[in-house]
Structure 1
């Protein structure tokens, strides 16, 4: 039986908190001694998920709350980013590369594509008017993770 390590962060839906979230999750995951590429992947997906919550979930309102839960289970990292925003009306459409619901912001529409390519598993649970939860998992290939 493994001894799971975890942390949870909650912060206001402000764009300046995206960098904090990215660095905090990366610092927590660094105990597994990930490669630079693995750490970069994790920082990128956290950035994408948090940015989606701020821009799409809360429509840039700063009074929302974003919760990030991160758990380490042996060599597996589980990251959940959750908001109580507007939810996603058409999840399959939102996951299409280059699709954006806010073209006026000149966004690339690659957030979900990036998350799905950088992580081993991505699961999205959303309900209109209730919010969105993005659950992501990645296996860390470092030697330290194998012996933890």
Structure 2
């Protein structure tokens, strides 16, 4: 796939930056003419991924860095959320609905990410961090129109 545009955001691991990330990624994604409901789905998926990095990856330590890489292709949008936190020992277990390492959380973050993206990949190593990669396709008609 040919890259049309890309951006990288880096910010500290504080809860206030979840809202920043969701709005910034949605603004960047709007170059692809997504519908408002599609942009809302992107915002929710980004919120969940960034929130997971802060809450689970960094255990709410505010002195860490979360990186969000966003790449626009004519076919759609790729979003990567990267942390260098504690990592995930069992990705399959972590992706189960209602599973959470924090009893105060509902454990639906990965469920939302899967529901609101066309592809979801989670790469993680304990002690080294986690990379969540989501891809949101353009509607077929829109992608064909962009290609012409």
TM-score above 0.5: yes
**How many aligned residue pairs are there?**
146
| Further displaced range: 47-56 or 133-142 | 133-142
In structure 2, the CA distance between the partners of 1:95 and 1:27, relative to structure 1 (3 Å rule), is same
Counterparts of 1:27 and 1:143 in 2: how far apart (Å)?
22
Counterparts of 2:3 and 2:110 in 1: how far apart (Å)?
31
* Aligned partner of residue 4 in structure 1, secondary structure: strand
Deviation of 1:5 (Å): 0.5
Map 1:119-134; keep pairs closer than 5 Å. Answer: 119-134=117-132
Tell me which stretches of 4 or more aligned residues in structure 1 moved more than 6 Å.
none
Deviation of 1:75 (Å): 2.8
Counterpart residue number, 1:139:
137
Write the deviation string for residues 89-122 of structure 1: whole angstroms up to 9, x where unpaired.
111111000011110xx21100001111110000
Counterpart residue number, 2:15:
15
> Unmatched 5+ residue regions in structure 2?
none
> Unmatched 5+ residue regions in structure 1?
none
In structure 2, the CA distance between the partners of 1:5 and 1:63, relative to structure 1 (3 Å rule), is same
CA RMSD of aligned residues (A): 1.5
Counterpart residue number, 1:4:
4
Counterpart residue number, 1:59:
59
Deviation of 1:37 (Å): 1.2
Write the deviation string for residues 28-65 of structure 1: whole angstroms up to 9, x where unpaired.
00011111111011000000000000000000000110
CA contact (8 A) 2:80 2:132 kept: yes
CA contact (8 A) 2:3 2:71 kept: no
Relative to the length of structure 2, the TM-score reads 0.93
Q: Answer yes or no: is 1:93 the counterpart of 2:87.
A: no
Counterparts of 2:3 and 2:95 in 1: how far apart (Å)?
34
In structure 2, the CA distance between the partners of 1:63 and 1:3, relative to structure 1 (3 Å rule), is closer
